[in-house]
Amino acid sequence: MRLLAADDPRLAAFDSPAARYVRGHAERGIGNLQTQLLLLDLGRWQMPVSLNQGGERQDNCYVVSPLTAYSGYARDELQRLQRPWLAALLRPLVGAVERLLAGARIERIVQVNNWLLSTNLYPGDWRGEQLGELTELLRSRFPEHAFGFRSLNPQSNGELLTRLSELGYLAVPSRQVYLFDGRNGAESAYLQHQNCRHDARLLRRSGYQVENGDALKADEFERLEQLYNLLYLDKYSPLNPHYSAAWLRQGVADGWLELRVLRSACGRIDGVAGWFASDSVLSAPIVGYDTALPQRAGLYRQLTRLCLEEAADRRMLLNFSSGAAHFKRLRGGEPQIEYSMVQITHLPLRQRLVWRLLAGLLQGIGVPLMRLLKL
């Protein structure tokens, strides 16, 4: 078991997607993110690891900063909440929690298997082997840091959640994600939903040509960056990862990112969906479209259909992340609460108390609200 820095010459011996990701300094292609990437070598498995000292930058991207994930992003969500009275009640609580988290240096953290995506996927055949040894390694290497794992949910990662809990990791809820089970292929239940059938018909009749990302010209990745920004940064939140054209292009070249685009009859790219996959689960960290086009064009519906079809074709589970909850429920998405599992037992008492307070508030208030409001 080894932790290797991106510039470690021993990294050249590995050709896994994780090794290529770390060796290529993928973090440099994300505009609002500062972290140091390491490679964890477990022998059979390799995983990227993000290392943050805290204070790298204000509003560091939530995929590496719990402070942004649990306070900055919460502020943004309150602005979009359809119930002003509830937002007014929660705003002082979010502000108080943010001050507590900042004072406890919660952003000083090491996160294992962090691909710098909204949803990290874990190897389907990894059940937490060597977790005890890994926990001791991280505790000895980073005695002043919390460390842990993001993007875990009971349906996809039940055994791993249990094993981490047994080792004393703290379960901190993060959000509600939506899963589509495509393991029955064309017979998958979600494909039978009326809205899914309507989306399929829309895609067939739209006139758009679906193209693979590896067929794109180098300069067309600038358009993909623009489309992603229009949706995820301009419409949703500027705290989402700012993936650059170079990052997208490198992902396709290195094989850890697959892209599909919708090209109009005049040759313009109007939509993009990007997939990241483990051996059993598919995610879609890249979705973007031209938001200036009329809503009746149904670009988001068409991109969603591409993702749902891909999961069924591969007979995989699709983790379609959070957001657009009503839209996803209408198409058969099953909600799951997602957790980060964080090891804090070696930290000073004040930091442990703040982490436990955060977990308690999210379990006691956050999770019930997510379920009640169907977020």
Query: Which amino acid, residue 29?
Result: G
* Direct distance between the N- and C-terminal alpha carbons of the chain, in angstroms, rounded to an integer: 39
Rounded distance between C-alpha atoms, residue 337 and residue 121, angstroms: 15
- Report the pLDDT value the prediction gives residue 37, as an integer from 0 to 100: 97
SS3 (DSSP) at 355? helix
Instruction: Give residue-wise pLDDT tens across range 12-65.
Output: 899 999 999 999 888 999 999 999 999 999 999 999 999 999 988 888 999 999
Q: For residue 84, what is the enclosing H or E element?
A: helix 84-103
Phi (first) and psi of residue 143, to 5 degrees: -65, -20
Q: What confidence category does residue 90 fall into, taking pLDDT thresholds of 50, 70 and 90?
A: confident
Say what the pLDDT of residue 1 is: 92
As a whole number, the mean pLDDT across the chain is 94
Q: 188: number of CA atoms within 13 Å, CB side?
A: 27
- Other CB atoms within a 10 A radius of the CB of residue 318 amount to 25
Band (203; pLDDT cuts 50, 70, 90): very high
User: What's the CA gap between 105 and 113, in Å, rounded?
Assistant: 22
- Taken in order 190, 184, 320, 369, the sign of the CA dihedral is positive
- Under DSSP, is residue 136 helix (H, G, I), strand (E, B) or coil? helix
**CA–CA separation, 375 and 373 (whole Å):** 5
Q: How far is CA 207 from the centre of its chain?
A: 31
CB of 312 closer than 8 Å to CB of 182: yes
